[in-house]
Structure 1
Amino acid sequence: MERQRMSTSEELMHLPWWMVLLEGIAALIIGVLLLTSPGMTTLVLTQVLGFYWLIVGVLALVNLFVDHSLWGWKLCSGILGILAGLVIIRHPLWSTLFIPALVVLVLAVQSLIQGGIKIFEAFRGGGFGAVILGILNILLGVVLLSAPLMAAFVLPLVVGIFALIGGVAAIFGAFRLHNSALRASIQQTPT
């Protein structure tokens, strides 16, 4: 376990600090846009997702001709990616409403399943904390399923808040990486 932590921290040390800084700035910008103009930002992000799926679908089909392994999976994912991308690009407003609602439904079902698993773990000796987490997960799933459209409208705001927090954390992390890289280079310099 300690060896894994060391390799992860070493990998982070080799990550360019400016790349982490750019990711933090991008997350901060997306967070601000989601909080100030959630509808338009969700529309734009949905369109980006459509183009992404379209390109990934085309590349999956191209990869099918280059590498014949897993051809069924590549063919299926390529066709689905192209179809999903085209549907999103051709119907941007419907997609902007459908995709957040689909995410909310997936989160609701996942919360119900996780809640059941936690309660089952509690009966197998998981303790009182597992019961509380299980009940909270089930309650979250029920709330999301009872009002999926309302949750879909709130989802961009929640994602915006998390993007702001993650962006600020990444910016601070980038400067910490930069400072530790500077310290490491100063220590390695022969005097």
Structure 2
Amino acid sequence: MESQFASVPRSFTATPWWMVMIEGIALFIVGLLLLFAPATTTILLVQILGWFWLISGIMAFVSMFIDRNQWGLKAVTGVLGILAGIVVIRHPLWSALMIPAFIVVFLAVQALITGLIQLYQGFKGGGLGVVVLGVVNIIFGIILLTAPLIAARALPLVLGIFAVIAGVATFASSFRLQDRQQISRSEPSAAI
């Protein structure tokens, strides 16, 4: 008898359901912190990012000595990671303002490029809907570029809302995963 969950990837069912539940709870808590203490939480998250960059830069150098393949790329990645990590760790307030502002500028440029591509596709036969999406993306990009610091200030709140929603959804999916794992454990494996 074939399982009704045969289409579920093996790596998905290999993750214990309780780990998915913990991930959902963590996302929910981070979302609440971003909503109710956005400045402090942003500084903390940026500091974690700084440590991550520093450690990944060091690990890039270590891997360069273990495996000589692409040593130039590893050296550049290592230097950039270490420098970015040190700057973020040494200047937490400045980094907490600049990193979200950089993300907003990046999103603005991406929205402008996507909008222009959608306009082109819309006028080449993609339809009115694609043209409207292109215009909306371009307007969104212009708004973000004209007020990146205001948008950067709103970014933690937006991320907080998304994290709360994703945390609840992930928490709920842990129960479905638990059911799937119990079903797959109770089914006899097919022997050839």
Q: After TM superposition, is the score higher than 0.5? A: yes
- What is the CA-CA distance between 1:127 and the residue it aligns to? 1.3
DSSP-derived class of the 1:185 partner: helix
Q: Identical aligned pairs, as a percentage? A: 51
- Please give the per-residue CA displacement for 1:155-177, whole angstroms capped at 9, x wherever unaligned: 00000000001100000000111
- Please give the per-residue CA displacement for 1:102-125, whole angstroms capped at 9, x wherever unaligned: 000000000000000111111222
- What is the CA-CA distance between 1:7 and the residue it aligns to? 5.5
Q: Which amino acid is 1:72 matched to?
A: G
Q: Which amino acid is 1:140 matched to?
A: F
- Please give the per-residue CA displacement for 1:140-161, whole angstroms capped at 9, x wherever unaligned: 1011011111000000000000
Answer yes or no: is 1:89 the counterpart of 2:89.
Answer: yes
- What is the CA-CA distance between 1:10 and the residue it aligns to? 3.9
- What is the CA-CA distance between 1:60 and the residue it aligns to? 0.3
- Please give the per-residue CA displacement for 1:27-59, whole angstroms capped at 9, x wherever unaligned: 011000000100000000000000000000000
Partner of 1:3: none
Unaligned runs of 5+ in 1: 1-5
- What is the CA-CA distance between 1:23 and the residue it aligns to? 0.9
Q: 1:10 to 1:111 in 2, by over 3 A?
A: same
What is the total number of aligned residue pairs between the two structures? Answer: 185
Query: Take 1:124 and 1:57, find their aligned partners in 2: how far apart are those partners?
Result: 45
- What is the CA-CA distance between 1:188 and the residue it aligns to? 3.8
- What is the CA-CA distance between 1:128 and the residue it aligns to? 1.4
Query: Take 1:111 and 1:155, find their aligned partners in 2: how far apart are those partners?
Result: 16
Query: Take 1:10 and 1:124, find their aligned partners in 2: how far apart are those partners?
Result: 42
Q: Which amino acid is 1:28 matched to?
A: F
DSSP-derived class of the 1:158 partner: helix
Higher helix share: 1
Partner of 1:153: 153
Partner of 1:181: 181
Partner of 1:41: 41
TM-score after normalising by structure 2: 0.91
Query: Take 2:61 and 2:186, find their aligned partners in 1: how far apart are those partners?
Result: 49
TM-score after normalising by structure 1: 0.92
Answer yes or no: is 1:107 the counterpart of 2:90.
Answer: no
Query: Take 1:113 and 1:99, find their aligned partners in 2: how far apart are those partners?
Result: 21
Query: Take 1:59 and 1:184, find their aligned partners in 2: how far apart are those partners?
Result: 38
The alignment's C-alpha RMSD in Å is 1.7
